[in-house]
Amino acid sequence: MRRSVWFRAGLVGLCVLATAVPFPAQAPAGGPIVLHAARLLDVGSGKLLEPGEVLVEGERIKAVGTRVDHPQGARVMDLGDVTLMPGLIDAHVHLFLHPGAEDLQTVEESVPWRTLLAAEAAKADLMAGFTAERDMGTEGAGSADTAVRDGIDSGMIVGPRLRISGNAIDLLGGHEDAIGYNPAQHVLSNADYANSAEQIVEAMRAQHKEGADFAKIYETGSDRMIAGELHTPYQYTEAQLAAAVEEGKRLGAVVAVHAMGEPGTLYAAQAGVASIDHATQLSNETMRLMKEKQIPAVPTFTIFEYFAQHAATPAKGAKEQALFDYKVGEFKRQVAAGIPFAVGSDVGPFPHGTQARELELMVRYGMKPLAVLQADLINGARLLGWAGQIGELKAGYLADIVAVPGNPLEDITAVERVKFVMKGGVVVRE
């Protein structure tokens, strides 16, 4: 998450979901479920089935069509004038953050307390229709996200499917290294230190032992706009990132990077990372490599907009707005270049459960609704390592299904008004 202006705000959207229904680990024993709706979106082809039906047996989809078998004893749920579509995916979240000053959260709040808040954040995201997420760093809470993921998988708590990284990896004096505090106080970094390729590998091994699914590395920071251009120093060389990618292969994991701009984004693309998150500034060569290697950019528009709109002072707000405007212009270049995208919001500093706005902003600034939905669902499933399991409504896929009003191909804001949520064959919101 980009370090920027922080401010105090309430924990919006968490407490209201505290009474959500219990969430079993798998679909309960019992009969099949038939979902019926006015429309069903085939994400791959972009076609709408009218009407649409899905037959769910256990935790998986059995059949999809305008009409499916209705087995004896099946529960038939007529959801009305909505569109059935796969559960949403957020490829960049921070479950261990909430609105307010990030640095103070990590200093003033205990890891047990932050873990409880993370469980509530996961619940809020699921109820908003996000059935799978990638947690991009606990911001100083270490491997506490392992407990949240495992608690969700066991059915102990409610939340989306998770891929987790533990702490991010950073160099001494880097992006999340408690810059601005009195050095004599020895305030801890919000990330794990690694100052060489060998130390990156060591950190990845420790995180893997503690349950991490992938590694997140801070590749750029701090960021400044100078005379209308983004200046963002790199932190690791291409060779150092390549060592991380190679170690990831040994561990059966991938590497995602926080990288705002050049040359860090180029080094990340050359190294073959799994995704370049924020990706505000990409050179032509970087975009060529991303297209060639199918490395998605994850723009995270929503956090930039939020900072610009909620700055502590007008002067800071103007700086944030200048960066946002620059990002919009660069995004249009990226869309024209045909690079792949995934959808991630950087939710945490703004309230959990509200991040579907990311899809709206990606449409507003240059993509078609279908392209954004495909980026979110198909590319997102691939990025999280669940291709062929989630992201589409197909027989054999996990029954992660949401219903939205209207037609999201005509009005993408429909994804911000989810009416129904099923995860793994279990109805969690209706």
Instruction: Give the residue extent of every domain in the chain.
Output: 33-86+392-429, 88-383
Per-residue pLDDT band for 14 (boundaries 50, 70, 90) equals: very low
3-state secondary structure of 41: strand
Q: Which residues contact 365 (CB under 8 A, 6 or more apart)?
A: 301, 328, 331, 332
pLDDT at 30: 64
Strand partners, 394: none
- Scanning 175-283, the segments in alpha helix (DSSP H) are 197-209, 238-251, 264-271
3-state secondary structure of 427: strand
Q: Which residues contact 170 (CB under 8 A, 6 or more apart)?
A: 176, 177, 189, 190, 191, 192, 193, 194, 217, 218, 235
Angstrom distance (rounded) from CA 245 to CA 166: 17
Angstrom distance (rounded) from CA 359 to CA 356: 6
* Average pLDDT value for residue range 303-320: 96
Of 164, 1, 177, 20, the residue nearest 98 (C-alpha): 1
Per-residue pLDDT band for 205 (boundaries 50, 70, 90) equals: very high
pLDDT at 5: 35
Mean pLDDT score of the chain, rounded to an integer? Answer: 93
pLDDT at 16: 34
92 token code pair: 């960049």
pLDDT at 225: 94
Of 159, 171, 169, 104, the residue nearest 138 (C-alpha): 169
Calculate the dihedral angle through the C-alpha atoms of 240, 242, 248, 249, rounding to the nearest 10 degrees.
-150
Q: Examine the pLDDT at 395 and tell me if it is beyond 70.
A: yes
Q: How far is CA 57 from the centre of its chain?
A: 28
Q: Examine the pLDDT at 351 and tell me if it is beyond 50.
A: yes
* Average pLDDT value for residue range 320-330: 97
* Average pLDDT value for residue range 166-177: 92
Instruction: Render pLDDT for 82-117 as a digit per residue (tens, 0 to 9).
Output: 999 999 999 999 999 999 888 788 889 999 999 999
Percent of the chain scored above 90 by pLDDT?
87
Higher pLDDT, 182 or 400: 400
Per-residue pLDDT band for 185 (boundaries 50, 70, 90) equals: confident
Rounded to the nearest 5 degrees, what angle is found at the Cα of 277, between the Cα atoms of 273 and 280? Answer: 120
Angstrom distance (rounded) from CA 67 to CA 314: 56
pTM over 0.95: no
Per-residue pLDDT band for 68 (boundaries 50, 70, 90) equals: very high
* Strand order across the beta sheet in which 191-193 lies: 191-193, 168-170, 215-218, 255-259, 275-278, 297-298
* Average pLDDT value for residue range 270-294: 98
Q: Which of 7-21, 85-99, 138-152 has the lowest mean pLDDT?
A: 7-21
pLDDT at 256: 98
Q: What is the CATH number of domain 33-86+392-429?
A: 2.30.40.10
pLDDT at 13: 41
Higher pLDDT, 298 or 176: 298
pLDDT at 104: 85
pLDDT at 317: 96
pLDDT at 136: 98
What is the CATH architecture of 88-383? Alpha-Beta Barrel (3.20)
pLDDT at 22: 40
Q: Which of 3-7, 263-267, 318-322, 327-331 has the lowest mean pLDDT?
A: 3-7
* Strand order across the beta sheet in which 401-405 lies: 47-49, 39-42, 82-86, 401-405, 420-423, 426-429
